[in-house]
Amino acid sequence: MFKERIKTHHSAMGDGKKHLKGPGNVYELLSVSKDDTENAVIYIHVPFCTKICTFCNMRRSLQAPTKEYADLIVEEIREYSKLEYVKNTVFDAVYFGGGTPTTLSSADLTKILRTLKAELTFTEEAEFTVETTVTQLQEEKWRTLIEEGVNRFSLGVQTFNEEGRKLMGRIGSGENAYELLKALKQMSVTVSMDLIYNYKGQSMEDLYEDLDKIIALDLDGFSMYSLIDMKETKISEAQGQDNDEKMFFAISEHMEKAGYRFLELTKMVKGDSYRYIMNRHAGADTLPLGAGAGGSMRGVAMMNPINLDEYKDSILNFKKRMGMEFLPSYKDIVCFKGDIQTIRLPRNTELYKDKEAYMEMLHKLTENEMVCKKNNEFYLTQKGVYWGNTISRELYNLI
């Protein structure tokens, strides 16, 4: 039915400009009362890395964190906490992403975590996630983070295979990665890892060895990414789409037998609810903190400058921060995309302009065994998950 697979949700949606209302002052737009009770989440960006991996094109730089970076985030939290809308918001999850958040010292991470809890309101079971690497999470640091309330770790392992790790520019051995994950699993926290597959030279035996290590560790979940060829990266090109498809179904079938299930198009879980991303897929407000962080509150999209001097200036002149207002219809689009990312066809069928074209697409998806009907809703099958982002783009083109 489809020829080329879209591998990432960033490429699965079309142009959202038609949902733009126009620029607006963040301080003014968030200085109003909150009229709903929906939970929100926080994203904190730490754009520093000690080494740039060959497959990565994220917003990051090869340098140690500046001495004042944590203090700037603390000040940013305090500025937001004064705004009426933020003050009345209850947050359900915090995600430290990057870059590598654990390039920050234990003292700096503690400072940020304590400020969050002192200045903002959280649900009783709020999820606090720190993304990290094998070499940047020493025992002293992870013990401190757990003491300060971090209850979920996401490790960028990518593979335990030594040749694969070398190809990807990973620091530290696969054995060290395994032992770190094993230690974390004994601490009653949620532990997840990233897995990259279909890289040059990877055999099916290599793939199954990675999967069996995940099973042996009893990880709560793992994100699975087929290597994407991007001009900004330095890694060798991925193996072809036939091998990509073969490996995807090997992963899904092997791990389903081990008790894992798809939570997202690229994530299988056994004990991980991943509240941060599930809230986002449902259209939750996302407060962005840190240089290069992006999010939206009350329909106002905000993107912090990645340049550290500009980021600092934006905090010193907080009342002048500008965002981009979206029309109410944009949240419908976020939820539309979120439904597909969470393994179902969009529930809001009123968005389709051409219902006949949608019914024709639904018939094709069903006929090609990409969707199945359960309790009056349509869910993606394994085959549908594989083509999920492509399906997302096709359906988006109908609204």
DSSP assignments along 267-305, one per residue: EEESS---HHHHHHHTT--EEEESTT-EEEETTEEEE--
pLDDT of residue 230: 57
Total H helices, total E strands in the chain: 15, 17
In degrees to the nearest 10, what's the CA dihedral of 173, 179, 184, 187? -170
Q: Is the pLDDT of residue 339 over 80?
A: yes
Name the superfamily (CATH) of residues 16-327. tm_1862 like domain (3.80.30.20)
pTM confidence score: 0.93
Within 10 Å of residue 275's Cβ, how many Cβ atoms?
Answer: 23
Confidence of residue 168 (pLDDT cuts 50, 70, 90): confident
Stated as kind and residue range, the H or E segment containing 28 is helix 26-29
- Interhelix angle 69-81/308-316, nearest 10 degrees: 30
pLDDT of residue 296: 96
Cis peptide before 174 (omega within 30 of 0): no
Confidence of residue 172 (pLDDT cuts 50, 70, 90): confident
Q: Is the pLDDT of residue 234 over 90?
A: no
Mean pLDDT across the stretch 130-144? 93
pLDDT of residue 35: 86
Half-sphere exposure of 177 (CA within 13 A, CB side): 26
Torsion sign (Cα): 168, 170, 172, 175: negative
Mean pLDDT across the stretch 341-364? 96
Per mean pLDDT, which range of 13-17, 101-105, 305-309 is the poorest? Answer: 13-17
Q: Where are the alpha helices (DSSP H) in 90-132?
A: 106-119
pLDDT of residue 240: 81
Angle at the Cα of 41 (from 74 to 342), degrees rounded to 5?
A: 150
Contact 365/371 with Cβ under 8 angstroms?
Answer: yes
pLDDT of residue 8: 78
58 vs 303, higher pLDDT: 303
Q: Is the pLDDT of residue 379 over 90?
A: yes
Structural domain spans, the chain: 16-327, 330-396
Q: What percent of the chain has pLDDT over 70?
A: 93
Confidence of residue 247 (pLDDT cuts 50, 70, 90): very high
Helix (H/G/I), strand (E/B), else coil: 22: strand
Mean pLDDT across the stretch 341-357? 95
pLDDT of residue 99: 86
Please give the CATH architecture assigned to the domain spanning 330-396: Orthogonal Bundle (1.10)
